[in-house]
Amino acid sequence: MIKAGIIGGSGFTAGELIRILLNHPAVEIDFVFTTSKAGQPVSDIHQDLYGVTDIKFTDQVNLEVDVVFLCLGHGNSSKFLEVNDFSDNTKIIDLSNDFRLTADSLFQGKQFVYGLPELNLDEIEKADYIANPGCFATAIQQAILPLAANESITSDIHVNAVTGATGAGTSLSDTTNFVWRDNNFSHYKAFNHQHLGEINQSTRQLQKDFDQEIHFIPNRGNFSRGIFATVYTQFDGSLEDAQSMYKKFYIHAAFTHVTERPIHMKQVVNTNNCLIQLEKHGTQLLVTSAIDNLLKGASGQAVHNMNLIYGLEETLGLNLKASYF
């Protein structure tokens, strides 16, 4: 059995990670670390796990664990690793943005691989350290990387995407409390969201001469979880050309599926799937992408990466049904 540790155990992504790993046939949770809740049952915070597990939070870290998942706020993973020296045999999967960019990927002699399986499958399988992609970044990259792989991006890309309230984490603020969020909608960080760095990086990895702009408007939705992204750009080919291109790019992808039917978010919530649908409007190709921000956009993708590192079946522990009704 793979012994797993979780750092930062009280947040939304940690809760989903615990839920997945408790049902993963090849994994045993060794510890769930948090200093603020040490000694409390995990189910006191992640109440969907009541009656499922008797694990308690701890403030002790096993530095010899097989794999550790860092579910910490951005900027905190590097600080944590500076004072916690894990064994050379410990695989590290970081869910923050600390190591996603190439400039930040080498840390204390550890080379972090960008963990988007549809892009870096071979590298992930050989990696010891993974930088898990961001949630918006995952949804948007799935929508545009097939175009980049075929060097078909010839004009600016326009993105409008909405995320659920869980994307903001568990800390309350003026824009995350129920009264503000309920029956409300707003945009934030227009054109300068932090995930643009990794999106541009991955796009240039496939299309070396990519120098167009990605105009990204992130939105807050009045629902709990999920991301629904609409992306459009100029495309000279036909709709059939685009569909063939996307289906070929994702032919071996375990969780990304291209459909010719219109998609909606309920199809993917509570799963590790990404659905892609294409339309052609004049010279514009419209690509719609939908994921669960906590699973494909975070914890599910982290477990997918772990499966790849250990040579397990990609879908092991991740055959989850959508919360459709």
pLDDT at residue 181 in the model: 72
Give all domains of the chain, ordered by start, each with its CATH number: 2-132+298-309 (3.40.50.720), 135-291 (3.30.360.10)
Integer CA distances (angstroms), 58 to 17, 27, 39, 261, 316, in order: 16, 19, 6, 47, 27
pLDDT at residue 165 in the model: 77
The pTM assigned to this predicted structure is: 0.94
Structure tokens at 48: 């969907």
Q: State pLDDT tens for residues 83-129.
A: 999 999 999 999 999 999 999 999 999 999 999 999 999 999 999 99
Residue 108, classified by CB atoms within 10 Å of its CB into exposed (0-12), middle (13-18) or buried (19+), is: exposed
Among candidates 154, 218, 167, 153, which has minimal Cα distance to 190? 218
Question: Which positions of the chain have pLDDT values less than 70?
Answer: 167-180
Pairing outcome for strands 274-281 and 214-220: unpaired
pLDDT at residue 50 in the model: 92
Look up tokens 């659905």; give the residue.
275
Among candidates 128, 145, 154, which has minimal Cα distance to 201? 145
Active site residues: 135
